[in-house]
Structure 1
Amino acid sequence: MEEGSPQLCLPLRDFYIPSYIIVPETEREDIKEEPTCPVIVFVNSRSGGQLGGDLIKTYRELLNIVQVFDLGEEAPDKVLYRLYANFEKLKSEGDRLAEHIEKKLRLIVAGGDGTAGWLLGVVCDLKLVQPPPIATVPLGTGNNLPFSFGWVG
């Protein structure tokens, strides 16, 4: 694990993605167990007042810092195109962990309806055979998207 990465406790290990999977040309990490639910987190730091910034800080403390993206700094299309290109490269080199993470990948998007719609559009544009499930963390003012899709009880 690289310097600055959290010392993983058992539950968080299931969500961890090594840096080399997300950031091409990063030194490969040897992890003992494949994560069961690897996640990439996108947070709109401008949503929800100060909550977006606080949420980024919390996620970065709990996960590998490179798994958490501030949408004010980097657009999701650039992140996901780079990630999926790296998946293809690593899989062509026989990296079984990259293949596993791609299959099990989950996305979390924290923001308002516009932020969630933005990420949904990007994932749709990727035209993936198996798009990752996406969870929303409502930080905006309206947050009607989960209700529109019947995602709430």
Structure 2
Amino acid sequence: MGKVLVLNASYEPLNITSWRRAVVLLIKGKAEQVEHNGKYVYSGFPLPTVIRLRHYVRVPYKEIPLTRKNLLHRDSHSCQYCGYSGDDLTLDHVIPRSRGGGDSWENIVTACVRCNVKKGSRTPKEANMPLQYQPRKPYSSLYFEVTKHVKNGVNQEWRKYVIGI
């Protein structure tokens, strides 16, 4: 039936859960329904798509791993120099490793093979190849999950609860 976005009492996104777990939280009075999609669990009980916890929950900060998969998702599976989107994308260091550039969210972008070879061991400015978007560290791991749902055309009502979509 779908996934449900769980908000903290402060309306900050916490996680994504199943509709069954969301219904249990609603029935137990631990959460309130914020959004629904017009479908019903049973007569008079709309299926939630966004719920908000009644009490604030402290959540420890969770570091997002710097992986190829996460970089591709952050950069929307496209070359950050020419915009090409295909299967044969590589990872490129904005400031090359040969010049002291390290592995960080702010220094690695996705690039097609052609642009990566063309840029070589130069900076984008030296190669006259400006970046389409300045690379940055994502807001949170939940941000990744939410953007996948919203970009697929599902759960558009989640958009207003997440910064940067």
Larger Rg: 2
Question: Whose relative contact order is higher, 1 or 2, with alpha carbons under 8 Å and at least 6 apart?
Answer: 1
TM (norm. structure 2) is 0.21
Structure (1/2) with the larger strand percentage = 2
TM (norm. structure 1) is 0.22
Structure (1/2) with the larger helix percentage = 1
